Structure 1
Amino acid sequence: MRPAQKGAQLLHAARSAVDALDRQILAPRGESRRSVTPGLSTYVGSRWLSPRLMGFSEAHPAIRLRPQPMIGRFDPERDRVDVAIRRGRGERRDMPVTPLFACPAWPAASPALAGRIGGLGRERSLGNAILLDDRDGSTAWQEWLERVGLPQHASGARLTIPDPDLRVQTVIDGQGVAINGRPVQPGLDDGRLRRLSPAALGDYGRHPAIPPRAAGNPDVAIPGR
């Protein structure tokens, strides 16, 4: 085992021990931190979590939520969250992951760019457009092209923008095309975005991932979070 891996394991063990000790010290005194730190993107936080905060507080007044913005890949030791709400299919082998809600993914563009794509055809247009990814190594575009029967060479230049707010704004500004989903519905409703195809990656969604250090927090498992 490499020293860095051993150090990460020791750090995780130390943090878990400290958390458990805190709970044992506070419990006899009738005290509890009763806090949950969800990690999620700012885009999902403002469009999905924010409208639900009051309802959660009314249902669970003893629990204090401390949302933490997350961009890029989820590192359970670095990010120090109790539950991370991530986009994709929930592929993780190192911690429990359960579906939160379905969020089929499909490409969207600005109305002007969507009009050009409609006029020239998807294969020709996507070959000239900048395709936006949410992370390095994302396969969403390749999967969608296969879904609609377009060759991989139909994809144009690629640009990775991990920040979802910036990525969506880049699409609205007509600078690229991105694979999106349910959180961008307001942009479709007000005409700033246009869906390019009814074809979607139907198995995409939002998935909470609970890191080992938070497995002992009973508030993380409350139904309806």
Structure 2
Amino acid sequence: MKNLNRVHLNALHAAEVIGRTGTLKAAAQELGVTPGAVSQHLIKLEKQLGHQLFERQAAGLRPTPFGAALLPELHEGFSQLEHALTMARGRGDGILTLSVAPNFAAKWLVPRLARFSRLHPGVSVRVEATSTLVDLDASDIDLAIRVGDGEYTDVRTEFLAPQEVFPVCAPSLAEALKVPADLKTAWILRDVNSVIPWQFWLDQFDMREEELPQGYAFTDGALCLEAAIAGQGVMLAWRFLAEDAIAAGQLVAPFEGCTATGLSYWLLSSKRRRPGLPVRAFSEWLKNEIAGSFAPPSASAG
């Protein structure tokens, strides 16, 4: 690390921020200094390195070929420093921070967390319930669970399970649902924000969603599920949302089988961080928990 003694760390940090923000003004705002101070850091750094990092343009600063090669390395280095400082403040060794969609967290993960804690009492889990994409390199998020096609860039991905959908309803409604065509006389619940519409499931039976009655509509899958549990209609659900309600006898799947959407659940983590014990322990537990509970829903009509 002798080379670090030849340059100022603040100057390297300034260059990294300029590379991300594109202007001296934006970099100064992030660093809490004046644009002139940032400019002086950059001038000194370029002199020490013997290379120009940026070309001055009217719209801002554009990396030179040398700068374009150096900046990703600086970003990775400062991300690692940030992670190290996070751990030093007591947020790393025994704490695992997980980013997961709210419905997955509430309806499947949270009811099972006690099992993980019994196996790993020294690990505390902090759940951030959000579907927003996160920067796994720069944030304190250790793991993220997302639904997608698996085409994620610059992150480590592990397959968890396919996403599959199937109708569910209260047991009292299932008596009238012998075949899919019976849905034409049922009260249909809709999650208007779902990326998987009823039509996706109906295609295999040559049915159109327009043939189904209009029931209550919700902007949240968990609310739609509660309406189904209350006997207010039939919902097109997915396994992690409805599994526990089915196991408890609150819901049934009136028709055999389920339909794969082509999407899957993925466990995401940073490629640039070495997985610590909490990450390895939770990843293994999660995959085992999913494998142990992933059985096809059986028809329960009549």
1:122 aligns with 2:182: yes
Which residue pairs with 2:92 in the alignment?
33
Identity, % of aligned pairs?
Answer: 19
Contact 1:76–1:211 (CA<8 Å) still a contact in 2?
Answer: no
Q: Hey, what does 1:171 align to over in structure 2?
A: 228
Please provide the CA RMSD for this pair: 4.2
TM-score when normalising by structure 1: 0.65
**1 CA distance for matches of 2:126 and 2:115?**
15
> How far is the alpha carbon of 1:170 from its aligned partner?
1.3
Give 1:66's aligned residue.
Answer: 126
Partner of residue 255 from structure 2, selected from 189, 197, 221: 197
Distance 2:162 2:247 in 1: 20
Count of residues in Structure 1 that have an aligned counterpart in Structure 2: 208
Rate the CA distance shift 1:119–1:142 in 2: closer, same or farther, 3 A: closer
- Aligned-partner SS, 1:194: coil
Could you say if the C-alpha distance between residues 154 and 83 of structure 1 is closer, same or farther in structure 2, counting changes exceeding 3 Å? farther
Task: Output the amino acid matched with 1:111.
Answer: P
Answer whether contact 1:23 1:32 (CA < 8 A) is retained. no
Contact 1:108 1:178 in 2 (8 A): yes
Secondary structure, aligned partner of 2:144: strand
Give the match for residue 154 of structure 1. 211
1:72-111 paired onto structure 2 within 5 Å: 73-76=131-134, 81-87=141-147, 90-94=149-153, 95-102=155-162, 104-111=164-171
Give SS of 2:168's match. Answer: strand
- For structure 1, the 5+ residue unaligned runs are 1-5
The letter for the 1-side match of 2:205 is V
The question of whether the paired residues in 1 share the 8 Å contact of 2:163 and 2:264 is answered with yes
Residues 180 and 205 (structure 1), Cα distance of their counterparts in 2 relative to 1, 3 Å cut: farther
Structure 1 stretch displaced more, 145-154 or 183-192: 183-192
Larger of the two Rg values belongs to structure: 2
Structure 2, unmatched stretches of 5+, are 1-19, 22-26, 31-71, 287-302
Change (3 A) 1:51 1:153: closer
Once the two structures are TM-superposed, the CA of residue 65 in structure 1 deviates from its matched residue by 1.6
